[in-house]
């Protein structure tokens, strides 16, 4: 059993290294994923921020959690794209002809998404610090934020895997990300939900992004988190498990 696990993890590290080399050879991917959320952040802070009433003196503190989720939602579309390209080029078949654990090919893409999105998140937080973001959070709160963002990334990445394995075209592989990118705009990411019309407010308060944003915002500001963190974790875990199951079924069907 120990030898099988060792074999699995060694194969997965090779697949991760392969995918990460592709990322670092085309840094424009990370740059593109990072620039759009930064542009949104600058736009809302310096153009719209003065007109938005959030009950806080520092709008970038209010805004940052939603911007981080937008960055992750944007980044996972490239996972679907890379998976689709590997499928089209027959890369999976080549690897499966070798003595390696079959699922590690897929896991390499998933872990690459986790690492590349973490890089984007760090860059965005640094830019936020430059334009005035401040946090009273302690080490444990920052670790909790990192954990929530990692779970959110993994959940969306497995959704991306389903799209990449099932799509009929490159455009179809990445198009699934657009509805996900839209969710933060109908949440408490940019404005409090109480300012919204009743129907929109009901949707905003009962979709995953709002609870995740509220949990991260409370952690970063050193405020009591309440039930938001448990709701956020529940959303992330449910989406992760369901997406993982369907992604593995799609993977087995494609590689059978």
Backbone dihedral region for residue 192 (phi beyond 0: left; psi -120 to 50: alpha; all else: beta): beta
The encoded tokens of residue 230 equal 């448990």
* pLDDT classification of 2: cutoffs 50, 70, 90: very low
Look-up of token digits 């719209």: 48
Taking the CA atoms of residue 94, residue 96, residue 98 and residue 103 in that order, the dihedral angle to the nearest 10 degrees is 130
Report whether 17 contacts 112 (CB < 8 A): no
* 30 vs 115, higher pLDDT: 115
Spatial distance between the Cα atoms of 83 and 106, rounded to a whole number of angstroms? 8
At a CB cut-off of 8 Å and minimum separation 6, what does 69 contact?
152, 184, 189, 209, 212, 213
Residue 248 reports pLDDT greater than 60 = yes
* 240 vs 9, higher pLDDT: 240
Spatial distance between the Cα atoms of 211 and 215, rounded to a whole number of angstroms? 6
Q: How does pLDDT run across 36-85, given as a tens digit for each residue?
A: 889 989 988 888 766 676 767 788 999 999 999 999 988 888 888 888 87
Structure confidence at residue 144 (pLDDT):
94
* pLDDT classification of 95: cutoffs 50, 70, 90: low
Whole-number mean pLDDT of the chain?
A: 83
Q: How does pLDDT run across 173-222, given as a tens digit for each residue?
A: 777 777 888 888 899 888 888 888 988 999 999 999 999 999 999 999 88
The encoded tokens of residue 42 equal 């600058």
Residue percentage of the chain with pLDDT more than 70: 82
Spatial distance between the Cα atoms of 253 and 201, rounded to a whole number of angstroms? 40
Mean pLDDT calculated for residue range 128-147: 91
Residue 133 reports pLDDT greater than 50 = yes
Where is average pLDDT lowest: 1-5, 148-152, 224-228?
Answer: 1-5
* pLDDT classification of 1: cutoffs 50, 70, 90: very low
Structure confidence at residue 128 (pLDDT):
94
Taking the CA atoms of residue 131, residue 183, residue 159 and residue 114 in that order, the dihedral angle to the nearest 10 degrees is 10
Residue 21 backbone phi and psi in degrees, to 5? -60, -40
Q: What is the pTM of this model?
A: 0.87
Q: How does pLDDT run across 220-233, given as a tens digit for each residue?
A: 988 888 888 999 99
Residue 7 reports pLDDT greater than 60 = yes
Spatial distance between the Cα atoms of 180 and 47, rounded to a whole number of angstroms? 24
């Amino acid at each position: 059993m120990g030898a099988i696990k060792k074999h699995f993890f060694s194969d997965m590290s090779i697949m991760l290294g392969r995918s990460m080399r592709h990322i670092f050879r085309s840094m424009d991917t990370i740059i593109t994923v990072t620039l759009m959320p930064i542009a949104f952040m600058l736009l809302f802070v310096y153009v719209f921020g003065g007109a938005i009433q959030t009950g806080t003196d520092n709008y970038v503190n209010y805004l940052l959690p939603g911007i981080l989720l937008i960055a992750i939602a944007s980044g996972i579309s490239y996972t679907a794209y890379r998976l689709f390209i590997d499928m089209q080029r027959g890369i999976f078949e080549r690897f499966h002809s070798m003595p390696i654990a079959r699922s590690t090919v897929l896991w390499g893409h998933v872990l690459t998404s986790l690492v590349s999105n973490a890089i984007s998140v760090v860059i965005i937080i640094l830019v936020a610090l430059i334009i005035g973001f401040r946090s009273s959070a302690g080490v444990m709160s920052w670790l909790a934020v990192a954990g929530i963002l990692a779970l959110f990334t993994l959940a969306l990445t497995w959704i991306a895997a389903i799209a990449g394995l099932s799509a009929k075209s490159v455009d179809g592989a990445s198009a699934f990300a657009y509805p996900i990118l839209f969710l933060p705009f109908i949440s408490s990411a940019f404005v409090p939900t109480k300012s919204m019309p009743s129907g929109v407010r009901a949707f905003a308060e009962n979709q995953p992004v709002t609870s995740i944003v509220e949990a991260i915002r409370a952690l970063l500001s050193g405020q009591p988190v309440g039930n938001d963190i448990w709701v956020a974790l529940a959303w992330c875990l449910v989406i992760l498990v369901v997406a993982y199951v369907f992604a593995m079924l799609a993977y087995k069907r494609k590689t059978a």
